[in-house]
Amino acid sequence: MSDIRACGIEVPADWVPLPIEPSDDVRSWSKSTAAELRDRSKAAGYDLDKGTLRKDLRSRAEDSRSREPFYTFALYPDGFDFALAILEVDLIHPDDTVPRITLDWLAENFSSDDFGRPDIAHTDLPIGPAVRVRQNFAADTHSRRAPGILMETLTYGTLPTGSESALMLLMSWTVPGLSKEMEETADSIAETLTVDLH
């Protein structure tokens, strides 16, 4: 068996890659990216507040960095000064506590019944067998008095053919009414995953 040396992913143009390396300058990145997104939205007929956009970009990048994923993207369609969804890709390697990763282990460890039973299905992606977990969580709010927010998620855990490690794709969103579109987007992005083994 080999290990995953690198992985690739293709996302639509309105998904912005977030800077997650410790050496990345998030402040200057958020400033320049906010200007680019504002110009793009302006060309499409929307006027966005660059400051609001800059703050949202920065907070999304800093939040994702805290989890140290392999890749992170945020969805900023034209006309929106906040991300509609977050997409993270990460690797899980076997260790002393989990010497062999299986699809059942991924389904069990990446699902919860916070809001009813998760919808778990076994499937196949071009890179190998996978488990697809659709579920909802209570998202953290900035204030104790604020009502809880429902965070919807779709997770793919895949065992790339020939690898002992797992590749995880997690999409999350809190804007209601987008479930069908977000699921279709996550499903199509998961199909683009590639890996290099060594």
Give the tens place of pLDDT for each residue, 38-67. 999 999 999 999 999 999 999 999 999 999
**Contact predicate 146/164, CB 8 Å:** no
Of 142, 154, 155, nearest in space to 178 by CA: 154
User: What CA–CA distance (Å, rounded) separates 59 from 68?
Assistant: 15
Separation in Å, CA 7 to CA 110, 132, 166, 190, 196: 20, 19, 11, 12, 6
- For the segment 93-119, the average pLDDT, to the nearest whole number, is 91
Report field, pTM of the whole predicted structure over 0.95: no
Tell me, what's the pLDDT at 144?
A: 56
